[in-house]
Amino acid sequence: MRAHRKATLWLAALVHRISGLLLAVFLPVHFLALGLAIEGEAKLESFLRWSENPWVKLAEMGLVFLLTVHLLGGARLLVLENFPWRDWQKTLAAIAAGVATLIAFGFLFRAV
Amino acid sequence: MDVRLYLAQRISAALMLPLVAVHILVVLYAVGEGLTAAEILARTRGSLYWALFYGLFVAAAAIHAAIGVRSVAREWTPLRGRTLDYGAIGFGVILALLGARAVAAVVL
């Protein structure tokens, strides 16, 4: 592994990119699922009952993690680009990952 | 990256910061209440605020995702020029249309 790839902020950039790509893949599916309500409440309801499957809930937990980590990673980037560099910006990347994990587990606890 | 695309990417990101934060809170709240179609639609149907909130969210997300995917494709695939641009525009338009349809489905 090249030395720079061990750097926290290189990892933060990779996580931001991968989470963004996965969210972009998920978005059309999310919109199609909500669009079921056009065919009536029952159609959406049957989809939601299907989504109670534990594997789906686990996947949703992953999505909540991806969204939160992308949000906080993005906020970090906006700070980085618009304000002077500070050493604590590495800490922000770590906080982003930590908070995203907490929110994702929070989702799972609320869901089950 | 084109300066206009860079700016559109950052402006849509800044716009979505509060929208995503609210969305995550709503997800956590709604899932804890037991997710049902009746509960979701009772909250959103006929609501001008949710229509504006999600309408803006969809528009910003479509722009942001299309530019983001274009940047990644440019670095990680051989796609260049028009193929790259039209691909990104096509993806953004599909997201905007599906998103608008989803918003209409839950607020109308």
CATH at A20: 1.20.1300.10
CA distances from B103 to A68, B52, B53, B86 (A): 22, 9, 10, 25
Decide if A96 contacts A12 (C-beta within 8 A).
yes
| pLDDT for residue B68 | 96
| pLDDT for residue A105 | 83
* Residue extents of the structural domains in chain B: 3-107
First-to-last CA distance in chain A? 40
Q: CA neighbours within 13 Å on the CB side: how many for B90?
A: 6
- Closest partner CB to B102 (pick from A31, A45, A110): A31
What single-letter amino acid sits at A80?
A: L
Q: Kindly report, residue by residue over A57-95, the tens digit of the pLDDT.
A: 999 999 999 999 999 999 888 888 888 777 777 787 778
pTM across the whole model: 0.89
Residues in chain A within 8 Å Cβ distance of B61: 27
Domain count for chain A, please give it.
Answer: 1
Mean pLDDT by 10 residues, chain B (108 residues): 89 94 90 86 92 96 96 91 93 97 94
Most confident range (mean pLDDT) of A29-38, A91-100, A102-111, B33-42 is A29-38
| pLDDT for residue A6 | 60
Domain, as residue range, for A25: 3-111
| pLDDT for residue A112 | 72
Percent of chain A at pLDDT exceeding 90: 44
Asked if B101 and A35 come within 8 Å (Cβ–Cβ), the reply is yes
| pLDDT for residue A4 | 63
Question: How many contacts, defined by CB atoms under 8 Å, are there between A and B?
Answer: 93
Q: Residue B14 is inside which H or E element, if any?
A: helix B3-32
Res. A31: pLDDT tops 70: yes
| pLDDT for residue A56 | 92
Quote the ipTM score: 0.92
| pLDDT for residue A109 | 78
Residue A101 has a CB neighbour count (10 Å cut-off) of: 13
- Closest partner CB to B72 (pick from A17, A34, A37): A17
CA distance B52 to B22: 14
Res. A5: pLDDT tops 70: no
Taking each continuous run of H as one helix and of E as one strand, the counts in chain A are 4, 0
Minimal CA separation from A110 to chain B, in Å: 5
Q: How confident is the model at residue A104 (pLDDT cuts 50, 70, 90)?
A: confident
Res. A41: pLDDT tops 60: yes
CATH for B3-107 is 1.20.1300
